Amino acid sequence: MSFFADLRLGEQDRGRSGLAGKARSLARLAARNLPTPPGFAVTGDVFAALCPEVSPIARLDEGTFALLDQLRERLMNTPWPPGFVDELITRLAAVGAPSFAVRSSFASEDSAGQLAAGVYESYRDVPPTGVEDAVRKVFASALAPGAVAYALAHGVQPAAEPLFVLIHQFLPGQAEGSAAFAPAVMREPLVTTRRGSLDDAERAELANGLAALASDDGATEIEWVKHKGKLVYLQARPYQPPAPSKPWSGYADLSEAERDPSVWHWDASHNPLPLSAAQAGVVAFADQHCHIGIRQRVLGGYLFYTRQGAWSPPALPPEMAEEFFSSLGNAVETRLAHLPPVPALEDALSVFLFAYEPIFGMLQPALRKAHDSLRAFLEEHFPAALEQLPILRAGVVSMASQRAELAQAMAVSANADEARTHYLATFGDEAPIWDVSVATYMEQPEALAVRASADLAPALDWQKASAEVEAALELTLRESWRQTLQASRTAVALGEADDWLYARAQAAVRRALLGLGRRLVEQGRLKGFDDVFDVPLSVVRAVATGAAAESDLLALAAQGRKARLAAKDDPPPSAPATDAGAIRGAGTGGRAIGRVRRHRPGERTDADAVLVAATLLPTELPLIEARAIVTDTGGLLDHVAAQARERRIPAVVGAHGALALLRDGDLVLVDGDAGLVVRLGS
């Protein structure tokens, strides 16, 4: 049995007795007289001795998960082969380094089309006494659910090919990074730094070395470190350059100066999908008549905003926000009550404007100021409590908690009808997304079909967190602390309530458009009443007043539908996934396997599906039942992650590129422990 392999190429440079993966690439770099760290490799024979039998795996299921857990436990506890530890100690001593890098070097990674970037474990800055344990953990990572899923997705059996572990001197260095060059599509090598910096001469040296490698091996990516003033190569692997980018069509309406990403920003967190022609018209209408501190426009079908050229209304003190909202809400409700069930379009738009500017121009800035004041107070007086901000703002009785309670009650058959009635009475004017073309829950109550959630996690104890802060403050600051915290907690509740009020006002516009659409169908000018949402709002307003009697509404509606479909296939630029088979994000814990269901607002998701979305709104989250959730955007403290943890649904958020990569019916593993999404098959 061969325990170790030297980092040099022989007649055999691949196989159990040769080299594989990163070890092989390091040996090839050294053979070209490029500087590499001293080290050696643990061979696949050692893995075979620790875990001699890994039965073929056809799919991942609960039984497979249990088997993998058993295999990893066996691998971590099986005694080393006789003589291994002594030789390991001897080789570590021969390298003579104070610490080591212990890295996966599997035959099935770092190859073209199968890079497995980040799928397997590697450890840095490991002391000699910790190398044994690190080697075991690297081996065990080949049997982790995400790694097994990745292997199966690429048509290989887990642990079937040689599993080496590369051990080399750890070089902390003054700088480190990566570099890539694809001669066919790049003019010059791309050199990046994760830490530290390089001077021009060092960049040129690295670029020249990489160009020489790429001329022999094709597109190549390397990892490097600057150690004691010299560049050292740590790894080389095939590089798959991104597809050539083309200018986004949505920027065509902007000047060259406006195309700077710092000017116009895609509002993907609120409207990740293309807007209907009607909603685009509502945006333009509100932007024309309201001052809210930002300008808005629709580019390529998507909602964008900028602060340049915007004029804000007078500031509202945060302490007046609650009274202001109460007064505004009463005034809006009074105006809504005076509208008939099918209001005239101009009357509905008038009520919408009446609510829109104070909500977004006065109330929301005041709420943001209340939150900012809480953060500023802690930064000045007790910075250690900043990490407690999510807890301090938790447990607020709000419309969000009402939604959650009613959604849970709807899952209990004894109270389902009563809970549904209460839900629709309060939240029936809401819709899954902020587009006037989307049916409200009152129109489609079947969208409220839910199942009982798992036991909710214990509520975050904000009172305990507040008491800890108060105890650390001087007596003169404690009353100010209570007031500042209360203002922020009030802002949490008002932040949910203003969404509700906005939905109420927009629902009136929708009712007006639906009424007009039905009349136009009766007149033969539209095929379906909802076609009215695909006609530009300016034309619809003119039709409503009789000023556009000759407009070809059928053609305009067809154009609107065609434009919206085209926009879905041409979204604004976003960060792509780094690997075609695995997508990384932030995991909330747990793991699940299921078929992908791409999010379609208003449609029910199968409880066994993996829901994949650009983003999800807090109003729809309590109504969603899914086996797992994956979102392109978001972080561990955002709505999706927080509710997923509470309901114990496995989720990976901030998985950039998931929506572009995954299609309906794809079988995926969502590993919320590792923050990894792996496509298992189409």
Question: Closest Cα partner for 633 from 607, 595, 659?
Answer: 659
Q: Which residue has the tokens 């919408």?
A: 352
- Give the separation between CA 283 and CA 301, rounded to whole angstroms: 12
Q: What is the full DSSP assignment across 387-409?
A: GGHHHHT-S--SHHHHHHHHHHH
Structure tokens at 48: 């075979």
pLDDT < 70 stretches in the chain: 1, 9-18, 110-118, 153-154, 240-246, 261, 268-269, 272, 449-460, 569, 571, 573-581, 602, 618-623, 636-639, 642-643, 645-646, 680-682
- Report the alpha-carbon distance of residue 155 to residue 146 in Å, rounded: 14
What are 236's two structure tokens? 């080389």
**β-sheet bridge partners, residue 42:** 4, 165
Measured CA distances, 111 to 116, 219, 236 (Å):
9, 12, 10
Give the pLDDT of residue 579: 39
CA 528, 535, 560, 429 dihedral sign is negative
Cα separation, 371 vs 363, whole angstroms: 13
Q: Which of 23, 135, 123 is nearest to 75 (CA)?
A: 135
* Beta strands 591-598 and 609-613, pairing class: parallel
